[in-house]
Amino acid sequence: MLKRSLIVAAALVITGCAGIPEYKFSKAGASEADFHRDKTQCDDEAFSAGNVARLKYIEARNACLVKKGWSQVAPK
């Protein structure tokens, strides 16, 4: 798991961060721990699908979170 996280982090740094908004998520009745659990699962799923370009990775992760009942809140 740590190795995969390091690979994901390296891929994100290599592909760059500029111009891609980071969305916040909310889910009625969910805790921060619930979000982190679901986000970790979605990070793994997005990476497993071969999404190493940052935009594709974020799109896949966010779609996974929405499937788990989270709502995107646009950044300000």
Global pTM? 0.67
Over residues 11-45, the pLDDT tens digits come to 555 555 556 667 789 999 999 999 999 999 999 99
Radius of gyration from C-alpha coordinates of the chain: 12
What CA–CA distance (Å, rounded) separates 56 from 53? 6
pLDDT band at 56 (very low <50, low <70, confident <90, very high): confident
